[in-house]
Structure 1
């Protein structure tokens, strides 16, 4: 069957067979890009963009892609966790996020969100562990890298914080906070070397 299909395709492409314009054969619409392909293109655009506001919009679209788990139940639990975070009910948020990472362990944003809640609760070790999971699933996760940089700075590991912020800038060059942190930490580390 594949040989016949390939033969017919070759004939069509060579122009030897004409397909009538009135054919009832459905025309295949272009296939929508996969989530990975959309993310890859957005990251290319983010790296190239030199306008801060335009870069923020691209980053927002990336967050939008990350927020889509592919499961209505997981998305709902993520919404509930966000509402709990906004109301500073971190234990409630953590309950939802524990369910998210248990039910969908390959969902990087679930791990990142839980890392954020642990950070807010001052559970830095647990936050680091969740950041590690998020970065294994999505190494370009500039939110998780930013969290890592903040923890490194808080715990006095300035060189590691600087390196994490530099990784953020390699992905998202126009992130103002990362630019400021790299400048500040570079000055501090240079001053300590004197």
Structure 2
């Protein structure tokens, strides 16, 4: 019987190594940063808080997932969009419950003007992380790209309730493409 258990453990070991652990629970820290962003006195203070949010979102569940995320982001930065998509595809296959894999793949699809693909990934990222401010603002930009202005305005308005300092706020200001529609006289 001992040999059977040992054989089962040896066989199962590699399969278990291919399972992504749960993403770290940073919800309390993220909520604190969102609260601080709402109260930030200026753009500079808000930018520092945004960088801390990014550190949370890009904290992958394990080293393997972190390597895939970092590699994909590096490829995206060097405009290797197909290589980045491949890395993010691997990441979401390995860690289907890690929101940032979907958010990063959405960003690459957005840059490629595949707005439908981006929107699908953004919706998944937001389902996994409802207060992912970057995914929410990315969703607004993607909806704008799809010319779905009312939905884009609503998405951006919600993102701005979480962080009123987002650079995308100019889109909803007077004269911007998502400015509230006024009444004609």
Normalising by structure 1, we get a TM-score of 0.76
Of the structure 1 ranges 141-150 and 128-137, higher mean CA displacement relative to structure 2 is found in 141-150
Could you say what secondary structure the match of 2:105 adopts? helix
Equivalent residues of 2:109, 2:115 under 8 A apart: yes
Of the structure 1 ranges 93-102 and 39-48, higher mean CA displacement relative to structure 2 is found in 39-48
Which of 42, 47, 58 lines up with 2:38 in the alignment? 47
Change (3 A) 1:35 1:93: same
Equivalent residues of 2:103, 2:125 under 8 A apart: yes
* CA distance, structure 2, for counterparts of residue 149 and residue 71 of structure 1: 30
Kindly provide the CA deviation profile for residues 146-194 of structure 1, in whole angstroms up to 9, marking residues without a partner as x. Answer: 221112222222221111111111000122x232111124547327x66
Which of 147, 167, 171 lines up with 2:158 in the alignment? 167
* CA distance, structure 2, for counterparts of residue 88 and residue 154 of structure 1: 20
Aligned residue for 1:189? 181
Which of 116, 133, 138 lines up with 2:124 in the alignment? 133
Q: Does 1:123 align with 2:114?
A: yes
Count residues with an aligned counterpart.
159
* CA distance, structure 1, for counterparts of residue 26 and residue 72 of structure 2: 23
Equivalent residues of 2:152, 2:178 under 8 A apart: no
Which of 102, 109, 114 lines up with 2:105 in the alignment? 114
Of the structure 1 ranges 124-133 and 148-157, higher mean CA displacement relative to structure 2 is found in 148-157
* CA distance, structure 2, for counterparts of residue 142 and residue 123 of structure 1: 21
Could you say what secondary structure the match of 1:189 adopts? coil
Aligned residue for 1:17? none
Q: Could you list the runs of 5+ residues in structure 1 that have no partner in the other structure?
A: 1-33
* CA distance, structure 2, for counterparts of residue 141 and residue 37 of structure 1: 13
* CA distance, structure 1, for counterparts of residue 142 and residue 109 of structure 2: 11
Which of 1 and 2 has greater Rg?
1
Per the TM alignment, residue 124 of structure 1 is displaced from its structure 2 partner at its CA by 1.4
1:1-194 matched pairs, under 5 angstroms: 35-175=26-166, 177-183=167-173, 184-185=176-177, 187=179, 189-190=181-182
